Amino acid sequence: MSACGGPKIKSELRVFESADELATDLAEYISQLSENSVKERGCFTIALSGGSLISLMGKLCEAPYDKTVDWTKWFVFWADERAVAKNHIDSNYKLTKDLFLSKVPILNSHVFSINDNVTVGDAAAEYEFAIRQLVKIRTVGVSESNDCPKFDLILLGMGPDGHVASLFPHHPALELKEEWVTYITDSPKPPPERITFTLPVINSASNVAMVAVGEEKATAVHLATAGTGENFDASSLPARMVQPTDGKLVWFLDSTAASVLDVSNGSSG
């Protein structure tokens, strides 16, 4: 319990002078997790978000990682995706393909994007079904505590309002307990229609990395990582609800995003 009563979230905070230094460490972090997962399970399952996160992963496409990562063992998913055509400028698939997938030899059959020819509700249902098939054959691990899929790594960005994936403040999607993938049609961040992992899936991951850069994230970072009063309404800040059940949470922050962190917040391992 933190001094002011609210639960203190166990997480590691990594603060970097610049986005470039953050990107260097993020690439090494992902490469290490990939190596460990491939050694232990023969594959590496990673779920991505959208936004600046994808460019911050860019160093993975460069030496030494382009030649040292066992890319054929990677299975790529999206923790959230916009319900637009996959060649649309707003598509997280397009963003990831342009900046990452087109630069590393991940097998197309190992990339699981949404069906962009159906309604957002059907896309969410189909996405969940595809993940269930992969859990059944153990390509995607399963959580011991709640039969949720256990991704090796879920990479999240965070909005200035503390949203993660497409889970926004006070949204009913934050309460879902059974669904693995849901959809929203009222995203405050355009475009309005999106699919998203639910919190049980995010919190079942072996590793979650939250990547936040820029002054506009500083308040949300502080609120998400600090202990707060008993009556703090966590649903006002979804990033605070990311508390892996038995996984590890690591924050990757540049100095501006970390600029209002309490000293006591330091990395708690």
Closest CA to 138 of 57, 228, 42: 42
- Residue 41 Cβ, how far from ligand 6PG at the closest point, in Å? 26
Contact 197, 180 (CB under 8 A): yes
Collapse the DSSP code of 216 into the 3-class scheme (helix H, G, I; strand E, B; otherwise coil) and give the result: helix
Distance CA 1, CA 8 (A): 5
* Biggest alpha carbon–alpha carbon distance for the chain: 51
Which one, 11 or 49, has the nearer CB to ligand 6PG?
A: 49
Which one, 214 or 227, has the nearer CB to ligand 6PG?
A: 214
Which one, 73 or 163, has the nearer CB to ligand 6PG?
A: 163
Contact 56, 19 (CB under 8 A): yes
Which one, 43 or 244, has the nearer CB to ligand 6PG?
A: 244
- Residue 252 Cβ, how far from ligand 6PG at the closest point, in Å? 11
Contact 146, 214 (CB under 8 A): no
Which one, 40 or 215, has the nearer CB to ligand 6PG?
A: 215
Return residues touching ligand 6PG (CB under 6 A).
49-53, 80, 92, 157-159, 163-165, 189
- Residue 53 Cβ, how far from ligand 6PG at the closest point, in Å? 6
DSSP H helices, 153-252, are 199-202, 218-225
- Residue 157 Cβ, how far from ligand 6PG at the closest point, in Å? 2
